[in-house]
C-alpha cells in the first residue's frame, strides 16, 4: 500500500497503568459504515507481526480507536468485537468498534415519568444526559410534546424514543449527541455515470406495505367514534379500494383516542408506500484529486444527485446509509431514501401534494424536477415561485416578494418576513432571531445596536453572556460570557471565559503566548530565548528557561522537586541564604563531581552554629604536632598516695 493510503488509525489503551497511544499503520480494509439514525461503526483487519505484540494484544474490547484529525472528523470508537483468525500462515484480528456515542447504552434511567405536558426536547434529553459523560444538544426548532411513560430503560433506547417523539434525527460528535431537525445538507454533490458512478441497484418490494391501518391502544382502545371516525381504521392517501394492503399496529401505553389517532397517522406514513431504495457504488474522486473535495459526501443525511441517462435515472435523494474506506482507494457505497416510481401524468400532483419521492417531467417548454420529504407545496404563479408548508403557510418566495420588490424572501410561521434580498442593492437583510447551526461563517456582521443570543450590541462594545464561537472578533471591548475561536483583536476583554487555540500579544518578538496545543504559558524574547510554564511535561508540571547557550528547568517529578541547568548555575542573594531539610533524619548533601571540590574562601567561613566557633578557631586551639614534649612523669595511683604511676609523652602525645 502506498504511503498516501496507509492507515493512520490511532489505538488508545492503558499499558503498565499509563495511557498509551499507538498508530495502527498495518491496519487494512478500514471501513466506516453509518446509517441515518442507526448504526455507526468501523471495521478493519490487523495482522500479527513480529515485534508488534504490544499493538496486537491491545486490540481488545473497551479500548478506543480514533481517527486522526482531518479524517472522519477525528471521531472516536470503542472496540466491541474481536475475532482472531488463521488463514494459512497468516494470523490476524477482525475488529469492530462502535461510535463513542453508543456507549450511552451502558447507562440506565432509574426514573419514570408517567405524564408531563407540552415539554421541549431539552426536558427528556436532560433526563438522559444526567449522570453520563455525554452532552445533549438541540439543533433547530421543535414543537413541544406531551411525554408519557418515559424511563426505566437503557438510555440509548430512550434516546430513540425521543427522536421518534419529536420527529427529529440524531447527529454524533464524540460525546456530543445532537437532536436535529435534519442531519446532513445539500452541497450539490453529483454522482454521474461515466464520471464517478460505477454501479446502481434499484430494490423495491411491498411486502411490508399497509394502506389500511387498524390501530389499538390500551385495553383494546380504538378511534371508532372519535372526531367523526365511524370505523377502527384509517386509509392511506394511496389506498386503492380494489387492492388494499391491510394491517394493524398496537400502542398498549396509549389510553386517549386523540393520541391514538396521531400515533396511527405517524405510523402509516412509514408503511403506506412500497419500500424502494437505490444502492449506489461510486468512486470517491476526492481521494485522488483534492480538486474534487467540494464534491465529496460529508455524512449520512446529505442530499445527492444521481444521473444515469442510459437507465433513465435522474433524481435527488438523501443518503440513508454510507459505507466508505477512509485510507484506501476503494469505492464508496450509499443507500438512498425510499422512492415511488412516477408516470408522466403524476407530475402535477407531485408539484402540489408531494411525498417522499423524486420525479422529472419534460415538455417542449419546461422541466420540473424536485425532491419532497413531506406534504409541502411548491407553486409557480404570477409572482414567481412560492414554497408553502403542509399548513399552506408561505415559507419561501422567489420572484416578486412585495409591491415593487423582487428577489428572495423567507418567512416565519407567523407570516413575518425574516430574510430577504434588496432588489436595488442586492444586499441581504435579516429580521428576528438568528440561530446558528453547524458550519462556519465567512465574512463580517455589522451592527450598531440590538442583541445576539443574549449579547447586547452597542456602537463600540459587545457585552452579555453565552458563547460566541469561531473566526475573528475585532472591536473596542468584549465583556462577559464565553468566546471560542481562533483570534480576538480589541482594546480590552473584561470578565467571562476565553477558549481558543492560540492567544498571543504580538505576531513578532518579544511577546507572550497562551497555547492549548502544549497547554503552556510562555514569554518569548526570541525563538531561542524564552520562559515557559508547562502544565504537563511527560506527566509533571515544569517551569522552563531557555537561552541560546543553555537551559534551566524547575520541575516536580513524583515526590521530588528538581532544579537543574545545562551549564553553570549561580544561587545568590543580598541577605541570608539558607538550605534546610526539616525532617529529623533529613540529610543535606553536597556532591561534587568525581574530580571536583566543595570550596569555601577559607576555614574561617565555616561556623559551628551551636558553639559559634569557626573551623579555623578550632584548628588554632589544637596543639602543634611539631612542638610537643617528650618524657615521663609520675602521679599517684590513689588519692593521697605516693607518686607511683608513670605517664609517658611522645611529642606531646601520651603513649603510656
Q: Which residues pair with 564 in a beta bridge?
A: 553
| Whether the bond into 510 is cis, omega within 30 of 0 | yes
Domain 107-180 matching CATH 3.55.50.30: the answer reads yes
List alpha helices for 220-282, DSSP H. Answer: 257-271
The tens digit of pLDDT for each residue in 602-636 reads 888 888 888 888 888 888 887 665 566 778 888 88
Confidence tier at 491 by pLDDT (50, 70, 90): low
Q: In whole angstroms, what is the distance from residue 375 CA to residue 428 CA?
A: 29
Rounded (10°) angle between helices 121-129 and 155-165: 170
Q: In whole angstroms, what is the distance from residue 73 CA to residue 296 CA?
A: 14
How many Cβ atoms from other residues are within 10 Å of residue 459's Cβ?
9
Q: In whole angstroms, what is the distance from residue 272 CA to residue 255 CA?
A: 25
For the chain, how big is the Rg over CA atoms in Å? 40
Q: Looking up cell 441517462, which residue turns up?
A: 309
List alpha helices for 186-277, DSSP H. Answer: 257-271
Q: Number of C-alpha atoms within 13 angstroms, CB side, residue 129?
A: 17
Q: Between the CA of residue 547 and those of 189, 552, 593, what are the distances in Å?
A: 54, 9, 25
Lowest mean pLDDT, pick from 52-56, 64-68, 485-489: 485-489
Q: In whole angstroms, what is the distance from residue 196 CA to residue 191 CA?
A: 6
Q: In whole angstroms, what is the distance from residue 316 CA to residue 357 CA?
A: 9
Three-state helix/strand/coil letters over 209-275: CCCEEEEECHHHCCCCCCCCCCCCEEECCCCCCCCCCEEEEECCCCCCHHHHHHHHHHHHHHHCCCE
3-state secondary structure of 346: helix
On the 0-12 / 13-18 / 19+ scale of CB atoms within 10 A, 406 is middle
Judge whether residue 345 has pLDDT over 70.
Answer: no
Find out whether 500 and 517 touch, Cβ atoms under 8 Å.
no
What's the whole-model pTM score?
Answer: 0.47
Q: What are phi and psi of 295, to 5 degrees?
A: -100, 10
For the chain, the structural domain boundaries read 3-102, 107-180, 186-203+276-336, 210-271, 377-439, 450-500, 600-656
Q: Number of C-alpha atoms within 13 angstroms, CB side, residue 315?
A: 25
Q: In whole angstroms, what is the distance from residue 244 CA to residue 235 CA?
A: 9
How many Cβ atoms from other residues are within 10 Å of residue 304's Cβ?
22
Find out whether 113 and 149 touch, Cβ atoms under 8 Å.
yes
Q: In whole angstroms, what is the distance from residue 336 CA to residue 317 CA?
A: 6
Cell numbers representing residue 196 in the block: 464517478
Q: In whole angstroms, what is the distance from residue 76 CA to residue 42 CA?
A: 10
Q: Give the dihedral sign, CA 253/257/258/262.
A: positive
| Bridge-based pairing state of the strands 28-35 and 40-47 | antiparallel
Nearest one of 523, 503, 519 to 511, comparing CA atoms: 523
| Predicted pLDDT at 251 | 92
3-state secondary structure of 230: coil
| Predicted pLDDT at 242 | 93
Q: In whole angstroms, what is the distance from residue 382 CA to residue 419 CA?
A: 21
The tens digit of pLDDT for each residue in 137-158 reads 999 999 999 999 999 999 999 9
Q: In whole angstroms, what is the distance from residue 430 CA to residue 447 CA?
A: 12
The tens digit of pLDDT for each residue in 94-118 reads 999 999 999 999 999 999 999 999 9
Judge whether residue 410 has pLDDT over 50.
Answer: yes
Assigned architecture for domain 3-102: Roll (2.30)
Nearest one of 103, 127, 99, 102 to 113, comparing CA atoms: 127
Find out whether 153 and 108 touch, Cβ atoms under 8 Å.
yes
How many Cβ atoms from other residues are within 10 Å of residue 113's Cβ?
16
The tens digit of pLDDT for each residue in 148-207 reads 999 999 999 999 999 999 999 999 999 999 999 999 888 877 777 666 667 777 777 788
Judge whether residue 392 has pLDDT over 80.
Answer: no
Q: Tell me if domain 3-102 and domain 107-180 are identical in fold.
A: no
Q: 11 vs 373, which has greater pLDDT?
A: 11
Judge whether residue 485 has pLDDT over 90.
Answer: no
Q: In whole angstroms, what is the distance from residue 211 CA to residue 104 CA?
A: 37
* DSSP calls for 161-172: HHHHHTT-EEEE
Judge whether residue 353 has pLDDT over 70.
Answer: no
Helix (H) or strand (E) holding 415: none
Find out whether 69 and 53 touch, Cβ atoms under 8 Å.
no
Confidence tier at 348 by pLDDT (50, 70, 90): very low
Q: Number of C-alpha atoms within 13 angstroms, CB side, residue 507?
A: 3
How many Cβ atoms from other residues are within 10 Å of residue 227's Cβ?
8
Helix (H) or strand (E) holding 53: helix 53-58
Amino acid at each position: 500500500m502506498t504511503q498516501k493510503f496507509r492507515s493512520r488509525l490511532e489505538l488508545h489503551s492503558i499499558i503498565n497503568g499509563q495511557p498509551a497511544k499507538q498508530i495502527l499503520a498495518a491496519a487494512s480494509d478500514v471501513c466506516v459504515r453509518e446509517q441515518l439514525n442507526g448504526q455507526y461503526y468501523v471495521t478493519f483487519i490487523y495482522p500479527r507481526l513480529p515485534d508488534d505484540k504490544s499493538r496486537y494484544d491491545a486490540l481488545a474490547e473497551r479500548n478506543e480507536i480514533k481517527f486522526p484529525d482531518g479524517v472522519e472528523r477525528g471521531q472516536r470508537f470503542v472496540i466491541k468485537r474481536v475475532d482472531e483468525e488463521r488463514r494459512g500462515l497468516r494470523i490476524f484480528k477482525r475488529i469492530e468498534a462502535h461510535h463513542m456515542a453508543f456507549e450511552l447504552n451502558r447507562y440506565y434511567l432509574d426514573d419514570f415519568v408517567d405524564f408531563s405536558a407540552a415539554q421541549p426536547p431539552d426536558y427528556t434529553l436532560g433526563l438522559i444526559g444526567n449522570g453520563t459523560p455525554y452532552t445533549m444538544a438541540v439543533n433547530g426548532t421543535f414543537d413541544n410534546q406531551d411525554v408519557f411513560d418515559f424511563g426505566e430503560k437503557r438510555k440509548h433506547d430512550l434516546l430513540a424514543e425521543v427522536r421518534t417523539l419529536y420527529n427529529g434525527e440524531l447527529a454524533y460528535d464524540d460525546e456530543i449527541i445532537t437532536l436535529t431537525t435534519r442531519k446532513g445538507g445539500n452541497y450539490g454533490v453529483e454522482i454521474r455515470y461515466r464520471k464517478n458512478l460505477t454501479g446502481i441497484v434499484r430494490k423495491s418490494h411491498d411486502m411490508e406495505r399497509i394502506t389500511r391501518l387498524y390501530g389499538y391502544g390500551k385495553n383494546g382502545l380504538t378511534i371508532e367514534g372519535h372526531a367523526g371516525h365511524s370505523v377502527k381504521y384509517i386509509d392511506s392517501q394511496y389506498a386503492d379500494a380494489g387492492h388494499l394492503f391491510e394491517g394493524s399496529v398496537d400502542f398498549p401505553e396509549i389510553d386517549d383516542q386523540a393520541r391514538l389517532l396521531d400515533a396511527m397517522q405517524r405510523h402509516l406514513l412509514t408503511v403506506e408506500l412500497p419500500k424502494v431504495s437505490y444502492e449506489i457504488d461510486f468512486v470517491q474522486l476526492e481521494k485522488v484529486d483534492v480538486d474534487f473535495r467540494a464534491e465529496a459526501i460529508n455524512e449520512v443525511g446529505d442530499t445527492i444527485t444521481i444521473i444515469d441517462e442510459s437507465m433513465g435515472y435522474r433524481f435527488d435523494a438523501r443518503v440513508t446509509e454510507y459505507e466508505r474506506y477512509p485510507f484506501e482507494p476503494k469505492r464508496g457505497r450509499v443507500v438512498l431514501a425510499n422512492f415511488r416510481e412516477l408516470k408522466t401524468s403524476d407530475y402535477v400532483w407531485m408539484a402540489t401534494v408531494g411525498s417522499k419521492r423524486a420525479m422529472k417531467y419534460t415538455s417542449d417548454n419546461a422541466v420540473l424536477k424536485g425532491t419532497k420529504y413531506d406534504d409541502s407545496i411548491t407553486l409557480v404563479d404570477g409572482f414567481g415561485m412560492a414554497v408553502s408548508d403542509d399548513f399552506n403557510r408561505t415559507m419561501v418566495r422567489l420572484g416578486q416578494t412585495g409591491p415593487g420588490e423582487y428577489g428572495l424572501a423567507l418567512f416565519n410561521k407567523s407570516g413575518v418576513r425574516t430574510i430577504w434580498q434588496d432588489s436595488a442593492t442586492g444586499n441581504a437583510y435579516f429580521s428576528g432571531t438568528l440561530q446558528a447551526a453547524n458550519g462556519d461563517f465567512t465574512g463580517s456582521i455589522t451592527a450598531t445596536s440590538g442583541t445576539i443570543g443574549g449579547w447586547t450590541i452597542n456602537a463600540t462594545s459587545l457585552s452579555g453572556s453565552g458563547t460566541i464561537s469561531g473566526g475573528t472578533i475585532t472591536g473596542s471591548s468584549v465583556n462577559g460570557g464565553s468566546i471560542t475561536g481562533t483570534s480576538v483583536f480589541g482594546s480590552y476583554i473584561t470578565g467571562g471565559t476565553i477558549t481558543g487555540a492560540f492567544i498571543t500579544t504580538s505576531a513578532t518578538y518579544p511577546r507572550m503566548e497562551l497555547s492549548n496545543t502544549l497547554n503552556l504559558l510562555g514569554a518569548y524574547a526570541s525563538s531561542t530565548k524564552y520562559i515557559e510554564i508547562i502544565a504537563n511535561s511527560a506527566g509533571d508540571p515544569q517551569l522552563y528557561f531557555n537561552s541560546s547557550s543553555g537551559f534551566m528547568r524547575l520541575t516536580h517529578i513524583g515526590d521530588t522537586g528538581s532544579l537543574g541547568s545545562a551549564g553553570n548555575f549561580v544561587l545568590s542573594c543580598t541577605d541570608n541564604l539558607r538550605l534546610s531539610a526539616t525532617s529529623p533524619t533529613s540529610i543535606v548533601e553536597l556532591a561534587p563531581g568525581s574530580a571536583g571540590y566543595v570550596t569555601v574562601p577559607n576555614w574561617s567561613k565555616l561556623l559551628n552554629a551551636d558553639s559559634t566557633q569557626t573551623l579555623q578557631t578550632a584548628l588554632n586551639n589544637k596543639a602543634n604536632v611539631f612542638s610537643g614534649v617528650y618524657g615521663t612523669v609520675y602521679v599517684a595511683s590513689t588519692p593521697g598516695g605516693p607518686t607511683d604511676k608513670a605517664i609517658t609523652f611522645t611529642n606531646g602525645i601520651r603513649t603510656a
